[in-house]
Structure 1
Amino acid sequence: MLYRKMPKNGDKLSILGFGAMRLPVKQDGSIDEEKATQMIRHAIDNGVNYVDTAWPYHMGESEPFLGRALAEGYREKVKLATKQPQWMVKSPKDMDMFLKKQLEKLNTDHIDYYLIHSLVGSSWENIRDLGVTDFLDRAKADSRIINAGFSYHGNAEDFKDIVDGYDWDFCQIQYNFLDENIQAGRKGLEYAASRDLGVVIMEPLRGGNLASPVPAEVMDIWNKADVKRGPVEWALRWVWSHPAVTVVLSGMNEHYQVEENLKFAEEGLADSLNPKELELIKMVADKYRELMKINCTGCRYCMPCPQRVDIPACFEMYNNLYMFDGKDRLMVMYAAKLGGILRGAEKNLASQCVQCDQCLNACPQHLPIPQLLEKVVEEFEGPDMEKRIEFAKQLFASDSF
């Protein structure tokens, strides 16, 4: 495992961090605690020392799960990060209330890296006016939190204002080879580093979309590389190649992913990609942009939908329709996954959207979700939708698909 230093405090942090937003789950959607605990502890035993969670992850169950998973001495082996749900804060006293509950859920007396969650320009103004900087000063003074930071999903201009708005220790931004100039982007990364902030990276694989399945057109480009690497390694190596990056979070939910990422993290040196390799990655990014129709990372911040639409799953199906072969299969899978066959009795179809617009403020990518769901309906639904659901029901019941 390679380590990099946090600029202001000198902490040596593993370049691979364990993100607890996409833990393995059981069929009922609950965290598979046995599997997830084994994965996290194995990662820690092999050098990972930064674990990240947040109040809303896994419908509020990620924090209490980690409180249990980091028992038996594992809490002392890691720097633990979690986040204030600033959108739920209505008064200054709420900040202390949420932190108190998070300390209890995580079964700890302090948070090593505490972030104000999912800021944009307007939410920063709101939480700042409620006194968040005073709260952070108090919480650091009495050691409830050790380092203060924020995670960000706004534009580059507002990012600078937030960086300059408080004596932060670190920040967390979305960054990958497709999003080099989106949100904070490369300019934000470099600006934060110029102010001596550590930078934690989220979505290095864009919600897994850069991992698998990989479109044939993209694989053709990867296969041109002199040094053969898989898509995940290329994506992670690209982020790690930036000297300003401190930690890269990976939302691992399978044992093999832990093993692979641990191996990749042994070679994630800064400036370790040559110009030819960087050009190859640029070609891959251009091809993805050509193929991808909806800029969704699958973060699920838009969920739950009041009408039970599974928004990320709808968009994943739509993108897959344009990125991969097999339209007939995808039509059946849409009916099976979102028509109440593989997930229980409730349907999660795009056509259930009533345009309440609740999802719009929640989306970090600022997608026009209701309008995009209409496109999903056009492609996947229609007068024969119920017949297709019945067909999928018979098909999966026969276990022949």
Structure 2
Amino acid sequence: MIKKINQKNGDELSILGFGCMRFPTKGGAIDETRAINMIRSAIENGVNYFDTAYIYHAGKSESLLGKALEDGYRDRVNIATKLPPYMVNKLDNAKKIISTQLTRLRTDHIDYYLLHMLTDLAMYKKMESLGVMEYLEELKREGTIGNIGFSFHGSKQDFEQIIKSYPWDFCQIQYNYLDENNQATKSGLMLAHEMSIPVIVMEPLRGGKLVTGLPKSVMKAFEECDKNKSPAEWGLRWIWNHKEVNVVLSGMSDEKQVEENIRIAGDARENSLTEKELEVFNKVKTIMNEKIKVPCTACAYCMPCPHGVNIPGCFASYNEKYLLEDKMYKVKYAQTLGAMSSTPAYASQCKECGKCELHCPQKIEIRKELKNVSREMEGIMFKTAVKATRKILKIK
């Protein structure tokens, strides 16, 4: 297992991290025996970074991980878990959640602690104003928390604002060969690296969509280059080729995935892809781009929108629907564009002022396309559903 040094604190982290959101299940619950065996097998093979969260597996993921790390395994790994900001409306909420997490994980310290799923600067500022950041710093000083970071699902501009607003110990972003121009984007990855902030990558295979949801023409392109590499191997090696990435999280849900990912992580060094292999990815991206609806490159020259629309984000979600035929596209659209943050940034916010079109290098008919996005991604019950969700989660 290849390991990389955390440039902030000197920790030696395995380049493969175990994402604890997709454990094998049985009868609707986590299959404890299999999951524990998978975790311990991964540790025996060098994996030392385990990422979970308060809400994963309906709150059972942390407990399972805690159980799996008994018998001496805890001292061999780094635990990462997360605080859900949308469940925190006062400092006591955060204190109770962290206390519960320590109990679930059967530990007295959490090595890497994140604000979960930040989507904009306002969400971070809320945590700051409630005293959450100050409290996390207190826990860090006493050793209960080792490192303070955040996971991100939002626009490039929001990522840049958030990462510059606090002396973060690390960050976690969605990144893969399809997401170079989506969410934090490649420029966000580079910015974090320039600031010497370690980067943990999530969704390297888009929840399996870059394994089982690829067009036949993409599969053919990969196979013609090297028929022995699976789509998963292609996707993981592309990310590990980036020197800016510290750890890649894989939500492994069966034993074969654990075995395959560990094998790949044994020799997937940075800058190791050949020119031929890199050219295959260019070919694949060309094929994928032919399926998109809006040729947006997320350059953000159209931003900021005076009415709050996250234009690149709207187009990214819209294109994703057609690229990977994701059945959860409406949920993800809502999640990344304002359902859990203070201000919505949906396509339907557009007032057709036309300011954005004056600056678009691709000459996209933005107003027209935003209408299409609103019609397909929102629908008649969208705002009612978002309103109900925000009420349940007590998001103001």
- CA separation in 1, counterparts of 2:377 and 2:85? 27
The reply on whether 1:208 has 2:208 as its aligned counterpart is yes
Q: Is the 8 A contact 2:119 2:336 kept in 1?
A: no
- CA separation in 2, counterparts of 1:59 and 1:143? 28
- CA separation in 2, counterparts of 1:60 and 1:229? 35
- CA separation in 2, counterparts of 1:237 and 1:358? 28
Aligned to 2:247: 247
Distance 1:161 1:320, change over 3 A: closer
Aligned to 2:274: 274
Mean Cα displacement is larger for which, 58-67 or 168-177?
58-67
Mean Cα displacement is larger for which, 103-112 or 158-167?
158-167
Cα shift at 1:225: 1.2
Correspondences of 1:213-224 after superposition (within 5 Å): 214-224=214-224
Aligned to 2:86: 87
- CA separation in 2, counterparts of 1:101 and 1:199? 27
Aligned to 1:104: 103
- Percent identity between matched residues is 46
Q: TM-score, normalised by structure 1?
A: 0.74
Correspondences of 1:1-400 after superposition (within 5 Å): 1-27=1-27, 29-121=28-120, 122-212=122-212, 214-225=214-225, 228-291=228-291, 361-362=338-339, 371-372=376-377
Q: Is the 8 A contact 2:15 2:248 kept in 1?
A: yes
- CA separation in 2, counterparts of 1:25 and 1:270? 34
- CA separation in 1, counterparts of 2:346 and 2:44? 38
Letter in 2 for 1:147: N
- CA separation in 2, counterparts of 1:68 and 1:4? 27
Letter in 2 for 1:34: T
- CA separation in 2, counterparts of 1:366 and 1:228? 43
Distance 1:237 1:359, change over 3 A: closer
Q: Deviations over 1:43-85 (max 9, x none)?
A: 1110000000001111111111111111111111100000011
Distance 1:16 1:369, change over 3 A: farther
Q: Is the 8 A contact 2:209 2:324 kept in 1?
A: no
Cα shift at 1:322: 6.7
Q: Is the 8 A contact 2:53 2:62 kept in 1?
A: yes
Q: Is the 8 A contact 2:90 2:130 kept in 1?
A: yes
Structure 1: unaligned runs, 5 residues or longer: 295-314, 324-333, 335-347, 376-401
Q: Deviations over 1:195-229 (max 9, x none)?
A: 11110000000110011254321111112315842
SS, match of residue 126 in structure 1: helix
Q: Is the 8 A contact 1:359 1:369 kept in 2?
A: no
Distance 1:321 1:240, change over 3 A: closer
Q: Is the 8 A contact 1:177 1:282 kept in 2?
A: no
Q: Deviations over 1:174-207 (max 9, x none)?
A: 0000001111111111111111111000000011
Cα shift at 1:265: 0.3
Letter in 2 for 1:172: Q
Letter in 2 for 1:229: K
Give RMSD over aligned pairs: 3.0
Mean Cα displacement is larger for which, 157-166 or 137-146?
157-166
Count of paired positions: 323
SS, match of residue 150 in structure 2: strand
Q: Deviations over 1:240-264 (max 9, x none)?
A: 0100100000000010000000100
- CA separation in 2, counterparts of 1:253 and 1:152? 23
- CA separation in 2, counterparts of 1:116 and 1:148? 8
SS, match of residue 211 in structure 1: helix
Distance 1:369 1:260, change over 3 A: farther
Q: Is the 8 A contact 1:293 1:322 kept in 2?
A: no
Aligned to 1:310: none
Letter in 1 for 2:68: A
